[in-house]
Structure formats: C-alpha cells, structure tokens
C-alpha cells in the first residue's frame, strides 16, 4: 500500500475538492451529525446525573471492561507511587522540562492579566483577574498515553491559581499496565494534583458536571476527547456547565515556499497526521516543485511508521488533507485562513512578515525549526488548541482559560461632570428616570 499523493491546484479545483480540504473530508459534519451516538451519550449522562457513583461503576464495567467499587474510582496513593516507580528518569525529566516551560509562558500571561490606566482626566480604569473556583480536566487515553495533554491543560490551571482541580482519565487500554496511565499520574503528581479519577470518558464528563458521591462537581470542564466525549461535553454545557469549546481531532497546515526543505516538510506533514484517522494535515505552496518533492519524501517516511500510526497518517493526509498548489501568496494565505487550522507552520523565507496576514489559527509556528512536535510537547506555548475551524472564534488553553476578569473604575469628579450630559441624554432616551436622577441629584447637591 502507498499514499500516491497528488497536488491539488486550488485555482482549478472543483467546489467538492475544495470542500474536502476545508472540511477535513467532512470530519466536522460527522462530529455534529451522529444522532445515534447523541442518544446513547444522552442516556449515559442522565444515568450519571440520576445514580451517581453507581452509574460510573456500571459504565466502567460495560464500556471499558474494568471492575471496581465506588471507593476505588479515585486514584489511590499506592497507584501514584507505583506510577512513579514505573516511569523512566528520562521521561520524568522530560515532563519537568515541559511543565517548566509551560509554567513560564503562563506566568507571563498571569502577570499581564490585570491592568489599569489613568486617563488625562484623572479617572482610573482597568481589570483585575481572578481564578475560577474549580475545574475538571479530561485527559484522553483511548489511543495511547498522553501525559502531554495534562501538562498543557493542567499547568495553566495551577498557574492561574484555581483552588480545586479534578482530573479524569479513562482506564489505560494497554493490557498488563496499571488501570490509569502512569506517565499522566506522574504529571499530576508533579503539578500537585491528587484528585484524579479513573472513569469512563463520557460518564466522567457527566460526573464532573453534576458531581457524584465520589467526584466533586466543577465550574468548568477542559480537555480534548473522542467524539463520544465531545458530545458529552456539549450535552452538559447545554445543562449549564461551561466547557472549553473546539477541542476535537487535530489538524495542521503548513505554508511553504521555495526556501523550505522538502525532507523536513515531509516529517512535519506526517507529525500531526499520525494522531488518528480523523486528523487532517495540509501543505500549501505556490511552488509545485516543492509539493512534488514533499510527495515523494512523504512516501518514504510514511512507510517507516508502525501501525496503527501508518494507517492514521495515510487517511489524515490522503483523504482528510493533502498537498495544495496556490496561484500566489495571497491565495495561499486565503486558504490558510479559510482552513483556520489548529497548528499553522510558516516554512517560508520571512515568517514574521507572513504572520501579519494570518487571521485564524490556534498557534502559528515561525520557521522550520519551530516544529509541531516541539509545540506539542515542550515549547511551553499552548498545544491544546481549537480544531476543525474553531480557531475562527476560540483560542487555545492557557491561564486565560481559567481566569475571570473584573472591570474596575475610579471616576474623578471633574470627569464625572464631563460625561454627565451624555448619561442624562441616554437615560432620558432609554426611559430610566432613576438613572437620570442619579445625575440631577448630584447637580442639586453640588450646585452644578
């Protein structure tokens, strides 16, 4: 089997060919039109709301093949200790490096989150940032071990100062391993998070939303997951629990010019494609020669991947993504903005100048040294990002995700009188006599 990539010329592409690229071969539509799955998840969510721990234990048995008592839903101290012993020093060091860099990035956000300014009239205005009271973090495990996800969503929550953080991790799918992914538990331990629960994905989301005898309810849920988990998140949000939106199947887009190295391009092209068969990867260039060189190199590098990653990558590239030839730089940028990718890499001669034209992206990586893998694991910038075009309205997970901002103002007396006529005019127009009186009373008291 091979990939046999062909270059799609955007200027002459049919509407169907363009739609295949922009919709990730219909991934977004598939995620939002799965009625049977919606019904089954709705039933599961309602079971958790009605029966609490009993429903959580039943879901683990039915969907994950895991037997446990309600008292065992929370990860024990012994499991934390065993996880620490089973992970190599090399991985622990990598976790610490990645947490450290994420911590620095989010501390910089926190330092700038509160601000104030004084106008020429002497009025002070600004905002103060406060952490939300509680959050639930969902870390997937269906296709493998993802400690990086907890680094990405947990570190900003800790830096923001969230008082109560609960973590839900589905059972480890690897036979013979501990019931919860060991590396993820090491991350939790490094971050000081000990309220970790081993729960089925959708029912775990419901538990965080409503609370059970063992799992506390939270104000907000953050974390990517399968379509079933995403549907559960959508359903609990409809019931009043805030959920970080747009965290679905990964997608990536590279803009490349003639200066880009095709071998490196191919490696980065495959990087996000191996996540799953619902992922998508696209390379856009105005240089046909570059795209044809990437096609040849991808074939070689792809054949070296093990299964199931090789199968995931093939579908992500050949069916959900591809190689796109743009007529000019303007069209290349138009494609990128229409696609609104989770990850955008600018493999061009002047990435800083090109950045000015990128309107929608979860993250933008400038130059070929700034790889997707660096961003995913250890760069420190957010890597849990809006997917499937949600970047047009949603941002990645950072300390901002876990903060509320409160506007503040201290109006100087002279500035009050300066805006008093405007207050009076608008209060009269909108029919609010008490609003108007708050000004006229002050005029009477102060002789103004």
Q: Which residues are catalytic?
A: 342-343
Helix (H, G, I), strand (E, B) or coil at 364: strand
DSSP conformation letters of 72-135 = GSBPPHHHHHHHHHHS-HHHHHHHHHHHHHHHHHHHHHHHHHSEEEE-TTS-EEEEEEEE-SEE
Cα 376–Cα 382–Cα 383 angle in degrees, nearest 5: 35
* Cα separation, 408 vs 117, whole angstroms: 10
144 phi and psi angles, rounded to 5 deg = 160, -160
* Strand partners for 167: 137, 196
* Cα separation, 110 vs 252, whole angstroms: 28
* Cα separation, 48 vs 234, whole angstroms: 15
* Cα separation, 133 vs 402, whole angstroms: 9
* Cα separation, 123 vs 111, whole angstroms: 23
* Strand partners for 410: 124
Q: 390: which DSSP letter?
A: G
Helix (H, G, I), strand (E, B) or coil at 20: helix
* Strand partners for 405: 129
Helix (H, G, I), strand (E, B) or coil at 238: helix
Cα 376–Cα 382–Cα 388 angle in degrees, nearest 5: 80
**H or E segment at 256?**
strand 251-256
Q: Which residue in this structure is represented by tokens 């952490």?
A: 131
């Amino acid at each position: 089997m091979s990939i046999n990539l062909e270059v799609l010329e955007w200027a002459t592409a049919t509407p169907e060919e363009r739609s295949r690229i922009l919709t990730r071969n219909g991934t977004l539509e598939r995620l939002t039109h799965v009625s049977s799955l919606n019904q089954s998840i709705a039933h599961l969510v309602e079971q958790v709301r009605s029966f609490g721990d009993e429903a959580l234990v039943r879901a683990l048995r039915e969907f994950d093949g895991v037997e446990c008592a309600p008292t065992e839903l929370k990860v024990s101290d012994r499991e934390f200790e065993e996880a620490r012993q089973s992970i190599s020093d090399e991985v622990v060091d990598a976790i610490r490096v990645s947490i450290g860099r994420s911590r620095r990035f989010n501390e910089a956000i926190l330092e700038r989150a509160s601000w104030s300014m004084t106008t020429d009239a002497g009025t002070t205005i600004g905002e103060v940032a406060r952490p939300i009271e509680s959050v639930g973090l969902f870390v997937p495990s269906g296709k493998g071990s993802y400690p990086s996800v907890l680094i990405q969503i947990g570190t900003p929550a800790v830096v923001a100062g969230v008082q109560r953080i609960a973590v839900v991790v589905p059972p480890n799918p690897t036979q013979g391993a501990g019931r919860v992914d060991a590396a993820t538990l090491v991350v939790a331990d490094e971050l000081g998070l000990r309220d970790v629960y081993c729960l089925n994905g959708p029912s775990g989301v419901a538990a965080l939303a409503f609370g059970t005898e063992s799992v506390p309810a939270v104000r907000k849920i953050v974390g990517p997951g399968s379509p079933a988990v995403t549907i559960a998140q959508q359903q609990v949000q409809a019931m009043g629990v805030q959920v970080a939106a747009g965290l679905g199947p990964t997608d990536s887009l590279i803009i490349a010019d003639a200066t880009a190295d095709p071998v490196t391009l191919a490696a980065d092209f495959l990087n996000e494609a191996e996540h799953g068969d619902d992922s998508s990867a696209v390379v856009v260039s105005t240089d046909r020669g570059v795209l044809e060189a990437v096609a040849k190199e991808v074939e070689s590098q792809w054949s070296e991947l093990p299964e199931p990653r090789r199968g995931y990558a093939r579908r992500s590239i050949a069916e959900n993504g591809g190689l796109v030839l743009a007529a000019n730089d303007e069209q290349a940028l138009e494609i990128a903005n229409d696609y609104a990718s989770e990850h955008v890499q600018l493999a061009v001669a002047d990435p800083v100048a090109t950045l000015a034209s990128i309107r929608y992206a979860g993250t933008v990586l400038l130059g070929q040294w700034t790889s997707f893998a660096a961003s995913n694991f250890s760069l420190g910038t957010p890597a849990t990002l809006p997917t499937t075009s949600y970047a047009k309205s949603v941002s990645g997970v950072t300390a901002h995700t876990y903060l509320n901002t409160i506007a503040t103002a201290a109006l100087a007396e002279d500035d009050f009188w300066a805006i008093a006529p405007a207050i009076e005019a608008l209060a009269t127009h909108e029919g609010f006599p008490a609003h108007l009186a708050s000004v006229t009373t002050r005029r009477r008291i102060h002789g103004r």
